[in-house]
Structure 1
Amino acid sequence: MSPPFSEPAAPAYLPLPYEALLAPRPLAQVDLLVVHCTELPDLAMARQYGEQVRYAAGTGNSGHYYIDRDGSTQCWVAPERIAHHVRGHNPRSIGVELVNTGRYPNWLDWDHQAMEHPYPAAQIDALVALIARLQRQLPALAFITGHEDLDTEQVPASNDPARTVPRKRDPGPLFPWDEVLAAIALERLPTP
């Protein structure tokens, strides 16, 4: 006989130092989950980047949730706050960052655009569990998409400005969309 199902523990709440400066919002307006990858080698470096103040309001760029390769999950910005994770869609969305090297450290070099690191099963399982938890907490949550689907801007390559590269590529070509969509009750947001 199988043991009864037990829900994974809630994500560790480790708020960013400026979280209280982020604008509040009603949870009823959150209908979109945006999947990102950190494009950094580890969670510690992601935290360093997340803590950096980049705006006059005293805030920086961050997602709401961070999932490490082993599936451990942390909440850095409460869902009731608007995090800065995707241009033009922050008020309606939750940002989930998966630790993955991506294009680090030459993000915008034209000859360094491959994203070669797969997402471990533990990380994808944790993402699916987090989405299930968020669907219970956020009644309007209906859609999921990738950062690259919303931010399609092409920018000059850092090592050859005559070429252009995608500003954002995350979660990238190795993200298992079919597997994730089969396991959750969210619809993939149509691309603009």
Structure 2
Amino acid sequence: MLPDLPPLPVHVDPLPYESRLEPRPLSQIDLVVIHCTEVPTLAESRTFGEKVLYEDSGTGNSGHFYIDRDGSLHRYVAPERVAHHVRGYNPRSIGIEIVNTGRYPRWLDSDHQAMDEPYTPAQIDTLVALLARLAAEHPSLRFIAGHEDLDTAMVGATDDPSKQVRRKRDPGPLFPWDYVLERVPLQRLNAPPP
């Protein structure tokens, strides 16, 4: 029996290739991965998500849920499907993307690595409500991580290949980990040392 949770409006708008994503049992999900979109708008995130990047399956990169700056919640991929959002962890995880510019538009330039757009209170409120609901609906869900915790690869900077930059830095230094972790029944996986 699920706990009594407040309503959480979700705009369900499946990606065109959702049915081609690999199905999975919900009991396989034990991890949520937090991302930021690193593009300015939800519409741009949607456009990127719709791009077919994997010809063999006809699918692309996307998260399950997206949270816009106003706190509105959008589901592009159902949890019972494996979305492509983080290397090596997709089969066991739900990806949540929060609209934020991140390092846009020069993601891998060595002189453009700051991530200085704060997350809105509405985004964080929606995220906490979503995480509480996911934890209640999926008893196997135990862990939470940032994309940067799981994909720690370094790559040559686009402006100077002799310099190395982090391939992924999201959700970034302004994500309020302490606030979120105090409010959800999940443990941070692969947290960086203090």
**Same fold, TM exceeding 0.5?**
yes
Unaligned runs of 5+ in 2: none
* Cα distance in 2 between the residues matched to 1:143 and 1:10: 24
Aligned residue number for residue 40 of structure 2: 41
Aligned residue number for residue 30 of structure 1: 29
Aligned residue number for residue 114 of structure 1: 114
* Cα distance in 2 between the residues matched to 1:191 and 1:180: 14
1:187 and 2:190 matched: no
* Cα distance in 2 between the residues matched to 1:190 and 1:55: 28
SS of the equivalent of 2:19 reads helix
* Cα distance in 2 between the residues matched to 1:182 and 1:70: 23
Quote how far apart the aligned CAs of 1:127 are: 0.1
* Cα distance in 1 between the residues matched to 2:188 and 2:98: 18
Aligned residue number for residue 166 of structure 1: 166
* Cα distance in 1 between the residues matched to 2:185 and 2:160: 43
SS of the equivalent of 2:105 reads coil
Where do 4+ consecutive residues of structure 1 move more than 3 Å?
A: none
Normalising by structure 1, we get a TM-score of: 0.95
8 Å contact kept, 2:8–2:129: no
Q: Deviations over 1:71-105 (max 9, x none)?
A: 10000000000000000000000000000000000
* Cα distance in 1 between the residues matched to 2:117 and 2:32: 22
Quote how far apart the aligned CAs of 1:8 are: 3.0
Q: Deviations over 1:40-98 (max 9, x none)?
A: 00100000000000002100000000000111000000000000000000000000000
* Cα distance in 1 between the residues matched to 2:169 and 2:91: 21
Aligned residue number for residue 152 of structure 2: 152
* Cα distance in 2 between the residues matched to 1:71 and 1:144: 20
Aligned residue number for residue 70 of structure 2: 70
Quote how far apart the aligned CAs of 1:175 are: 0.1
Give the total of aligned pairs.
Answer: 188
Identity of aligned residues (%): 64
Unaligned runs of 5+ in 1: none
Q: Deviations over 1:118-164 (max 9, x none)?
A: 00111000000001111121110000000000000000000000001
Residue identity matched to 2:8: A
RMSD value, Cα = 1.2
Quote how far apart the aligned CAs of 1:6 are: 6.8
8 Å contact kept, 1:154–1:165: yes
